[in-house]
Amino acid sequence: MSDTTFTPRVFSGIQPSGGLTLGNYLGAIKRFVDMQNEGAYETVYCMVDLHAITVWQDPGDLAHNTRELAAGFIASGIDPEKSILINQSQVPEHAQLAWIFNTVARMGWMQRMTQFKDKAGKNTQNASLGLFAYPALMAADILIYHATHVPVGDDQKQHLELTRDIATKFNHDYGVDFFPLTEPVIEGAATRVMSLRDGSKKMSKSDPSDASRINMTDDADTIAKKIRKAKTDPDALPSEVKGLEDRPEARNLVNIYAALADMTVEQVLADHGGAQFGAFKPALVDLAVSKLSPISTEMSRLMADTAEIDRVLARGAEQARNITAPILKQTYDIVGMVSG
Ligand code: TYM
């Protein structure tokens, strides 16, 4: 472990590849807001557009989705006065450090990444080189801020382990104690929100079935319909957490309830244990609509003035570069790059 003391700093990112889901909100954004408001950290949150283009994005859609994601962050409670909110490509040091990390990371490490295997599918020869190098850019996103904590959903765990491996190898190879070993923060009831149609699959924007997910732009009727139709089993809710074992769909709805209500799963079961889904689902609909509708309304309001969003991002990039430019300069010095 590193002896150097690093400023407590949080970094996390989301791809602007279209359609924020309840999984992104509960697994990531809501946690970002909590960490911002704890006041114990500097917080930097990012739309990772350079990551998004590792699979094809229509240029018009990418620009729209980047602004919509910024609106989603702000509408959910990310305050640009308290957090630095940026678009990745506007802070060039991310990509510059990523190149250095491409020389640190080993082919074998990247080949083990399950997200690459999932996204590349069977035809890995046809995947972009960027998709393969994706985790090195992610490590650069984090380490160009010397970030100490990274809140993410469960699916990003392997990438964060790789980030630590890259930091360790860089520090070792160059004989420095320069990059921190960043801590993943994978906490709460909703680190892995599952599909509403299949409790064994992650809720995802890329699932072909729209009924499998709640989108942050869904209106109240759509949210109600999707929750009412969500797959469940015929049994009543248990009173103890143990009773959710082998009931993935029931567990998922209880986890979603707990995360939305800021309760523990135990508390939810203390209140709803013994209830049939016929009674629990309407309670979940009311809760979800009361928490999510104000966010989608605010997102639409913000999207009516994209010039304001662009101003927020320009200011965020400026603030970010005050941190990233000196860290890149020091990295170049360590590596032996001659600079003026
Ligand atoms: P992305 O864009 O796929 O997802 C963004 C965040 O949402 C979380 N998430 C979920 N959490 C719970 N349940 C789900 N069903 C669910 N679906 C998504 C993800 O875990 C993630 O936290 N590689 C990252 C983006 C990234 C990044 C970074 C993250 C790039 N650089 C640096 C942290 C730090 C990604 O693809 O997230």
Half-sphere exposure (Cβ direction) of 229: Cα atoms closer than 13 Å: 14
Q: pLDDT tens digit string along 190-235?
A: 999 999 999 999 999 999 999 999 999 999 999 999 999 999 999 9
The domain over range 9-191+305-335 is classified in CATH as 3.40.50.620: yes
- Ligand 1 centroid from CA 131, angstroms: 15
Separation of CA 307 and ligand 1 centre (Å): 27
Q: Is any ligand 1 atom within 6 A of the Cβ of residue 153?
A: yes
Substitution site in 9, 11, 14 for ligand 1 pocket (most atoms within 8 Å of beta carbon): 14
Q: Given ligand 1 and candidates 12, 24, 33, 116, which is best to mutate, with the most ligand atoms within 8 Å of its CB?
A: 24
Residue range 293-304: mean pLDDT, rounded: 97
- CA 13 to ligand 1 centroid distance, Å: 7
Contact 212, 196 (CB under 8 A): yes
**Annotated catalytic, 291?**
no
Residue 43 near residue 85 (C-beta atoms within 8 A): no
If you measure from the C-alpha of residue 308 to the centroid of ligand 1, how many angstroms do you get, rounded to a whole number? Answer: 26
Q: Is 27 in the pocket of ligand 1 (CB under 6 A)?
A: yes
Give yes or no for residue 218 CB within 6 A of ligand 1: no
Q: Which CA distances in Å does 126 have to 13, 132, 133, 159?
A: 26, 11, 14, 22
Label residue 203 left, alpha or beta by phi (over 0 means left) and psi (-120 to 50 means alpha).
beta
The verdict on whether 205 is a catalytic residue reads yes
CA 14 to ligand 1 centroid distance, Å: 5
The pLDDT of residue 4 is: 81
pLDDT band at 339 (very low <50, low <70, confident <90, very high): confident
d(CA 12, CA 48): 9
Query: Boundaries of CATH 3.40.50.620 in the chain?
Result: 9-191+305-335
On the question of pLDDT at 260 being above 90, the answer is yes
Q: Where are the beta strands (DSSP E) in the chain?
A: 9-14, 42-47, 84-87, 149-151, 183-185
pLDDT at 3 > cutoff 80 = no
Angle between helices 277-303 and 59-76 (to 10 degrees): 110
Whether 1 shows a pLDDT value over 60: the answer reads no
Count of alpha carbons within 13 angstroms of residue 337, beta-carbon side: 10
Which protein residue's CA is at the shortest distance from atom 7 of ligand 1? 24
Give catalytic status of residue 157 as yes or no: no
Average pLDDT of 293-314? 97
Average pLDDT, the chain: 96
Superfamily assignment of 210-301 in CATH?
Answer: Tyrosyl-Transfer RNA Synthetase (1.10.240.10)
Q: For the segment 152-175, what is each residue's pLDDT rounded down to a tens digit?
A: 999 999 999 999 999 999 999 999
Residue 14: CB within 6 Å of ligand 1? yes
Which three-class secondary structure state does DSSP give residue 197?
coil
Contacts of 321 (CB under 8 A, 6+ apart): 91, 93
Contact 27, 152 (CB under 8 A): yes
Alpha carbon nearest to ligand 1 atom 20, residue: 153
Domain span(s) for CATH 1.10.240.10 in the chain: 210-301
- Residues belonging to the chain: 340
pLDDT in tens, 27-86: 999 999 999 999 999 999 999 999 999 999 999 999 999 999 999 999 999 999 999 999
Pocket of ligand 1 contains residue 52 by CB under 6 Å: no
Tell me, using a 6 A CB cutoff, whether residue 142 lines ligand 1: yes
Of 176, 131, 204, residue with least CA distance to 2 = 176
Tokens encoding 125: 């020869």
Inform me whether the pLDDT recorded for 340 exceeds 80: no
Q: Which atom of ligand 1 is nearest to the CA of 203?
A: 15
Q: How sure is the predictor about 2, in pLDDT bands with cuts at 50, 70 and 90?
A: low
Calculate how far, in angstroms, residue 142's C-alpha sits from the geometric centre of ligand 1: 13
